[in-house]
Amino acid sequence: MSLSTETYDVIVIGGGVAGLSTAMQLALRGAKVVVLERERIGNGSTGRAAGLLGQLRGNSEHTRMLMDGVEIVKELEEKADVEIFVQTGSMRIAETDARAEEIASLVRMGKSIGFAIDHLPADEVKKLLPYMRTDDLIDACYCATDGHLQPAELVSAYVKVGKDHGVTYKSNSPVTEMLMAGGTAYGVKTQDAEYHAAVVVNAGGPWSYLNAEMSETTLPTAAIGHYYLTTRPDSQQPIDRLSPAIRNRELRIYSRPESGGLIVGMYAAEPEIYDMKRLPVDFDMSAMKASQASIDVALLLDAAQRRFPWITPQTPMNITTGIMTFTPDGRPFCGKMPNIEGVYHCAGFSGHGIVQSPAIGVIMSELILDGNSSYDLTSISADRYFDVPELKARQDIDTKCCEMAGNYYGKVERPSAPAVS
Amino acid sequence: MKILVPAKRVPDTDQKIEVCEDHSGIETGHLPFVVNPFDAIALEEAIRIREDRVDAEIVAVSVGDLEYEEQLRTALAMGADRAIRVDCIESLDPWNTACVLKALVEQESPDLVLMGKQAVDGDCNQTGQFLAAMLDWPQATFASRIKCLEDKLLVDRETDAGIETVELPFPAVITVDLRLNEPRYASLPGIMKAKKKEIAEISMGDLGVQNAEKMHTVSVRSAKTARKRVMVSSSCELAEKLRESLKST
C-alpha cells in the first residue's frame, strides 16, 4: 500500500500551545508548516490549563521570555480580535517565616531588575481578596502586571494567525513513525499519509517522550497528573473577574477567578505518574475524570478549604483533571539532540506551557530558521541531560520528574540557592 | 431511620465505548469504573437527609464480585455508614437484582430504599419499580426533590407532563433523577474513615436467592449515528434550519 506524500518545510507534532505557537512563528517567517495533532487541536494539557502568568521567576532570562510573551499576546489579541490576557494582578502569601523570607527575597530580586513588585500590607490583602482567609498571614507581595492567559482564546488566536499565513492543521492524525535515514529525520508517517520535511518539531506534551523514542532519543519528560476545582458562580460569594491570582505555596495551591467562580489548583506532594504508552491510542484528555473518592481531590479540597473556608465538599464545583509534562528541573526542553539531525524538541513546560508558549514559538522559529536564538537558552536546551546516565531509564526519569513536581510548591525557595524556575 | 442505597459498578460512559468483536458486550479492558452516577445522586441525597436528621444510618449495597468493593469503598468515603456486598460473579438482570435487594431489605428492614432511576450501562430503569412491587411498598420514581418529614416523604417527580408531587408513607422506594443534587467528592477525613470500615459480604445463598435469568443478551451493537452537518452563515439561517428539521420529525 502506498501512502500519499505531502512535503513541507517543517512538521510540528502536537497541536497544543507549544506546537501552535511554533507553527505560527515559523509561518510568519514564510515557512510552509503542517501541524499533526493526535486528537483535537488545543485539547490535551492545553485544554485543561489554568494559564496563570507570574512573570517574575528565579531565572531572569525566563522573566524576560514571559514579559516578551505578554507583548506577543497583545499583538495576537489585535490580530485575532480576542481577549487572551486578563490582567488581574497576582499575589503570593506567606503564613510561615520561611515563606515570608521567600517572598522577601523575591521582592528584592524583582526590584533589583526593575520589576514592579512589592510587599502588601494585610489590610490591602483583605481589601483585594475579601473571599480569602487572611488572619493567619504574616506577609504578602503583589504584582499588578501579572494575571492569566485564557488558553482557549490563545489557541484560537494561534490558529487564526497561523491559518492566515498558510499553516495546515490536521486533527486526529497521530504520528506512528519517524522517517529517518543515516541519523537524520526527513519526515513522519501517520496512518493515512507520509509527510516529508527537513525539520520535525516534537511538541507532544506528555506524549513527547514517546515521540522522542521514535527518533531513537531519550527525552527525560514525564506525564504527571494534576487537579483543580472551579466553583460555580454564587451570588453569596461573588468573585470579581479581576481579583488577583493567588499563590499559596505552603498549602501547595494557586487560585484565580474564572467566569464568576474561583479556580483552585494544587501541586500535590505525591502526584500520579502516567505511563503514556498504556493509554489508549485515541485517549481523549477531556474525558478524564476524578473518582468521587479520589485522594488527590480530597487533598485539594482540604487545602482549598483552609484558604477559602467557604469551599466545602458540598460546594457546587467542577473538578478538572489532566496531565502535565514535567522535567527533572521544571524547565522545558527546546532544541536539538546531538544524536539526530532534523528533530527539534519543544516540550516539558512543567505547568507553564500556556504562558511560556508565546516566546517559545519565537525561540523555536529562531533555532530552526537561524540556528541560534536571541535568548540565552542554557537553562532550557534540549540536550542538557543528554549525557546523564541516571536519566536514561524510564523509571528513573519518572521518579526524578515526579520529585520535581512534588517539590514544585512544597520546597521553600532559599534565597542563597538558585531559585526554582 | 435506616436508608438503603444500592450502588452499582458501571463503566464510565463518558469514555469512548467500543463493542467487542463477538458482539457479546462492550470492551471494558481500558475503561475506568465508577459508581453508577444516578446511584451516587441517591447516596448524596441520603447523606443530606442524615445531615438534617442525625439518627439516620446509610447502608450502601452492591451485587457483584470482589471488584465491586471499589465502588462500595467510594460510597463509604462519600459518607455511607456501612456497606454490604452480595457476592455474585454473574451480571444480574433488573428482575434478579430486585430479588436480591428484596431479600436484603427483609434482612435489614430499612425505612427507605433510595436508588438511581437506572444504571448508565444497561439503562433499563426497572430495578426500583420491580423492588417496590415485590415488597408491596409505595414508590416514587424520577425524584427531583425529596423532603423527608417525620412520618412521610414528599417527592417531586419529573414526568413528561411536568413536576408531580407525591406523598409517601414509610417504608418506601424512591428512584432518583439527574437534577436532584450534585454528588460531593469525598473529603480527606471521609476517605480515611472509609479505609477502616469493613465491607460485609453475603452470598446469594445466605439470602435464599438464585439467579433465574429473565433477560438474555443476544447481541450488542453500537447504534449508527448519522449526523448531518450543515454550515450556516447567520443565526437567522440557523433558526430557519432548526425549524425545518423540527417540522420534518
CATH number at residue A217: 3.50.50.60
Confidence of residue A421 (pLDDT cuts 50, 70, 90): very low
Res A420: pLDDT: 42
Tell me what the mean pLDDT of segment A16-25 comes to. 98
Residue B125 has pLDDT above 90, yes or no: yes
Residue A414's pLDDT is: 62
DSSP one-letter code for A61: H
Contact A413, A337 (CB under 8 A): no
pLDDT of residue B130: 98
Across chain A, what does the average pLDDT equal? Answer: 95
Q: How far is residue B167's CA from residue B117's CA, in Å, rounded to a whole number? A: 18
Q: Which of B32, B78, B182 is closest, CB to CB, to A293?
A: B78
- The phi and psi torsions of A186 (rounded to 5 degrees) equal -130, 10
Q: Give the residue from A277, A304, A325 where a domain finishes.
A: A325
pLDDT digits (tens, 9 = 90+) for A63-103: 999 999 999 999 999 999 999 999 999 999 999 999 999 99
Per-residue pLDDT for B173 more than 60?
Answer: yes
Range of the domain at B139: 2-224
Contacts of B187 in chain A (CB under 8 A): 298, 301-302, 313
Question: In this structure, are A217 and A249 located in the same domain?
Answer: no
For residue A134, what is the domain's CATH number? 3.30.9.10
> What was the pLDDT predicted at A417?
36
Mean pLDDT along residues B147-162: 95
CA dist A306 and A309 (Å) reads 6
By DSSP bridging, strand B33-35 and strand B152-159 are unpaired
Helix (H, G, I), strand (E, B) or coil at A197: coil
Question: So what's the pLDDT on residue A416?
Answer: 40
The reply to whether residue B16 touches residue A289, judged by beta carbons under 8 angstroms, is no
Q: A292 to chain B: nearest residue by CA?
A: B185
| Tens-digit pLDDT profile for residues A276-310 | 999 988 899 999 999 899 999 999 999 999 999 99
Structural domain contains residue A371? yes
* Burial environment of residue B209 by CB neighbours within 10 A (0 to 12, 13 to 18, 19 or more): buried
| Helix (H) or strand (E) run with residue A238 in it | none
Residue A415 covered by a domain = no
A317: β partners:
A231
Report yes or no on A285 lying in a domain.
yes
Type of residue found at A40: R
Residue A29 reports pLDDT greater than 60: yes
Residue B143 predicted with pLDDT over 70: yes
Residue B244 has pLDDT above 90, yes or no: no
> Pick the residue with more confidence: A314 or A141?
A141
The Cα B67–Cα B91 span in angstroms is 12
Do residues A211 and A346 share a domain?
A: yes
C-alpha grid cell, residue B137: 411498598
Is B190 within 8 Å of A298 when comparing Cβ atoms?
yes
Q: Report whether pLDDT(B227) > 80.
A: no
Q: Mind listing the pLDDT tens digit for each residue in A388-411?
A: 999 999 999 999 999 999 999 988
Structural domain that includes position A379: 4-52+151-221+328-395
φ, ψ for residue A359, nearest 5 deg: -75, -35
B165 assigned to some structural domain: yes
Amino acid letter at B69?
E
- B191 Cβ partners below 8 Å, 6+ apart? A293, A295, A298, B77
Note the ipTM here: 0.84
At residue B84, does pLDDT exceed 90?
A: yes
CB A91 within 8 Å of CB A131: no
Mean pLDDT across chain B:
94
Q: Which pLDDT does position A419 carry in this prediction?
A: 42
Give the pLDDT score at A418.
Answer: 40
pLDDT band of residue A20 (cuts 50, 70, 90) is very high
Q: Which residues of A touch B183 (CB under 8 A)?
A: 292
Residue A139: the pLDDT is: 97
Mean pLDDT of A140-159: 97
pLDDT of residue A187: 97
pLDDT at A226 > cutoff 90: yes
What chain B residue is nearest to A229 in terms of C-alpha separation? B185
Contact indicator for A308, A384 with CB cutoff of 8 Å: no
3-state helix, strand, coil in chain B (%, to 5): 35, 25, 40
Interfacial residues of A (vs B; Cβ cutoff 8 Å): 280, 282, 284, 287, 289-295, 297-299, 301-302, 313-314, 316, 319
Residue B245 has pLDDT above 90, yes or no: no
Q: How many domains does chain A have?
A: 2
Q: Grid cell 469514555 — which residue?
A: B15
On the question of pLDDT at A191 being above 80, the answer is yes
C-alpha cell at A182: 543515516
Question: Among residues A416, A350, A410, which one has the least CA distance to residue A379?
Answer: A350
Q: Is residue B235 part of a domain?
A: no
The answer to whether A208 and A345 are in contact (CB under 8 A) is yes
CA distance A52 to A72: 16
Rounded CA separation B249/B246 (Å)? 5
Task: Provide the pLDDT for residue B249.
Answer: 66
Q: Cite the beta strand spans of B38-104 per DSSP E.
A: 57-64, 82-87
Element (DSSP H or E) covering residue A212: helix A208-214
Instruction: With H, G, I as helix, E, B as strand and everything else as coil, classify residue A287.
Output: helix
Is A421 inside any structural domain? Answer: no
On whether both A262 and A308 belong to a single domain, the answer is yes
Interface touch B185/A299, C-beta < 8 Å: no
Structural domain count, chain B:
1
Helices (H) and strands (E) in chain B, counts: 7, 11
Which chain B residues touch A284 with a CB distance below 8 Å? 16
Please give the angle made by the CA atoms of A122, A128 and A130, to the nearest 5 degrees.
Answer: 85
Residue A76 domain flag:
no
Question: How high is the pLDDT of residue B222?
Answer: 86
Residues of chain B found within 8 Å of residue A299, distances taken between Cβ atoms: 188
Report if residue B230 sits inside a domain.
no
Same domain, A155 and A205: yes
> Three-state SS across B175-224?
EECHHHCCCCCCCHHHHHHHHHCCEEEEEHHHHCCCCCCCCCCCCCCCCC
Residue B243 lies in a domain: no
Task: Select from A273, A292, A325 the last residue of a domain.
Answer: A325
Q: Do A337 and A381 share a domain, yes or no?
A: yes
Query: What CATH number should be reported for the domain holding residue B33?
Result: 3.40.50.620
What is the per-residue pLDDT across A196-216, written as a single tens digit (0 to 9) for each? 999 999 999 999 999 999 999
The C-alpha cell of A18 is what? 507549544
- Mean pLDDT of all residues in A351-368: 98
Q: Does some domain include residue A401?
A: no
Q: At A11, phi and psi to the nearest 5?
A: -105, 130
Task: Tell me the backbone φ, ψ of residue B187, rounded to 5 degrees.
Answer: -85, 165
Residue A219 φ/ψ region, left for φ over 0, alpha for ψ in the -120 to 50 degree band, beta for the rest: beta
CA within 13 Å, CB half, A279: 19
**Span B7-27, mean pLDDT?**
90
Task: Give whole-number Cα distances, B242 to A294, B227, B247, B248, B249, in Å.
Answer: 42, 14, 9, 10, 11
Is it the case that residue A18 has pLDDT exceeding 70? yes
